[in-house]
Amino acid sequence: MAGHQTYEEQKALVFKGLMLLGVITIVEVVIALTAKGHLIHGVKFTEGFGHYLYMLLMIGFSLYKAYFIIFFFMHMAYEVRGLALSVLLPTALLVWAIIAFFQEGNSWGNRRELIKEKNEERVKPAGQPQGYILSKDDFRNTL
């Protein structure tokens, strides 16, 4: 248990945890900059297998950092199973809700674009004039 460690041991564990989180964050930034073509010019992972690998790595690192923070900094690793699940289940539902809201917003935005296109007024270019055309002299005489 964490209560049996000395202050110095706990302090060392906190610094190790911070170093681990810092290293993972730096790796994430390097991967993101490389994938977007900022570090190595001409190399971009914007589509295909490279894009999916990049996204998978970023999601994996983020999930690991979330796990590490919840279980060690929030001390969920030392709690009873029921309490840990009572914290993790709402967290998972919150992540699901965020994903659902983004999906719904994207769907709404796409439908809004369709409505804008449908309601856009299209003006046909004018062809040759038709009907009775008055010359300038005829127009003056009618006044």
The rounded mean pLDDT for the chain is 85
| Domain count within the chain | 2
Phi, psi of 98 (to 5 degrees): -65, -45
How does pLDDT run across 50-69, given as a tens digit for each residue?
889 999 999 999 999 988 98
* Vertex 122 angle, CA 120 and 127, to 5°: 170
What's this model's pTM, rounded to 2 decimal places? 0.61
130: left (phi over 0), alpha (psi -120 to 50) or beta: beta
User: Is 124 within the bounds of a domain?
Assistant: no
Same domain, 83 and 72: no
Both 57 and 10 in a single domain?
A: yes
**Token pair for residue 99?**
């994903």
What end-to-end distance do the CA atoms of the chain give, in Å? 104
